[in-house]
Amino acid sequence: MKQNFTVRQGALDGVEAFLSVAHHRNFRKAAAELGVTPSAISQVVRALEARIGASLFIRTTRSVGLTEAGERFISRAKPAFEELVAAAEVARALGQRPAGLLRLSVPRAVVPLVLEPLIASFCQAFPEVELEIAASEELIDLAAEGFDAGIRLGQFIAADMIAVRLSRPFRFSIVGSPAYLARRGRPARPDDLRRHACLRLRRSNGALAPWPLDDDGRAIEIAVAGPLIANDFPTLLGAAIEGVGLAQLPEPLAAGAVAAKKLVRVLEPCAPMAPGVFLYYPGHRQIMPKLRAFIDHVKHRANAADKARLHGDDRRSRPRKRG
């Protein structure tokens, strides 16, 4: 079948011209309002009447009036057109300033580590933006599910996405509770993990994630076994604290429990590095202001944190003055 390469005229073509003529009861005044010539207005209205199949105006040399078809048409076309104009204004406003609903898809573990420090300051800085956080471990199609952006570990982000760093690279540490290690002993090398109770993660595609390790500079993966499988890191963290088994967790997630001596790191030389946590979104030509505001806010906070960290490092490195 031969394709038609012309755009079909829509039902709305000529409606604005018709409404202007009907309002002024004059083609010249309508033309002046719309910034076109009277002949152009007349041509557009005639084309509209031809598509509808009925005359909309009664034209004389002295006046312009509506036919019965015109009266019926304007009674429904005018409120509908005004709604379309209002809808365009709403959409235009969202394209010009940070406002509206900003939906983010994030893993549960990321919320306390990365988002909580940002949420309050962002909401205060941009009160017209409603921030919705959907915590899920599932890797979803952002566009299909209606999300503006997502947050994930760098290794799980598709190559066609634009990524903005939210955290520094970090290690995946293997941790266990003091009670568990007293009961089962500490693993001394990667192969020892096969004889331990290891808490496993089920990925969103249904597969059980092996444990990646660094074996003397060589990246390896070990298929471990144990009494518990979960689909998120916070559940594995809680089970490890309770002594159910060893868990391999993002180091920032386990840091609090390690500092409180609820967990102990093991096989530290074997802990692999992860690229960190990133905000990601499709590479649109134009980013909506609400998302741009969030990205800029994230970058500003990250830069401020880096400066504070460098300042702290400088202070620690300075020699103390003796009294």
Burial of 313 (0-12, 13-18, 19+ CB in 10 A): exposed
Written as six digits, the tokens of 181 are 């290690």
DSSP 108: T
Judged against a pLDDT cut of 50, whether residue 30 lies above it is answered with yes
**Any alpha helices (H) in the chain, and if so which ranges?**
15-24, 27-34, 38-52, 68-94, 110, 116-125, 142-145, 178-184, 233-241, 251-259, 289-317
Supply the mean pLDDT for the chain.
86
**Any alpha helices (H) in 53-153, and if so which ranges?**
68-94, 110, 116-125, 142-145
Contact yes or no for 228/236 (Cβ under 8 A): yes
Q: Indicate if 176-274 has the same CATH topology as 100-168+276-317.
A: yes
Query: What are the boundaries of each domain within the chain?
Result: 15-94, 100-168+276-317, 176-274
For residues 132-151, average pLDDT? 88
Correct CATH for 176-274 of 3.40.50.80, 3.10.620.30, 3.40.50.1000, 3.40.190.290: 3.40.190.290
Judged against a pLDDT cut of 70, whether residue 190 lies above it is answered with yes
Judged against a pLDDT cut of 60, whether residue 13 lies above it is answered with yes
Q: What is the model's pLDDT at position 1?
A: 44
- The reported pTM is 0.67
Q: Is 100-168+276-317 assigned to CATH 3.40.470.10? A: no
Q: Span 15-94: which CATH code?
A: 1.10.10.10
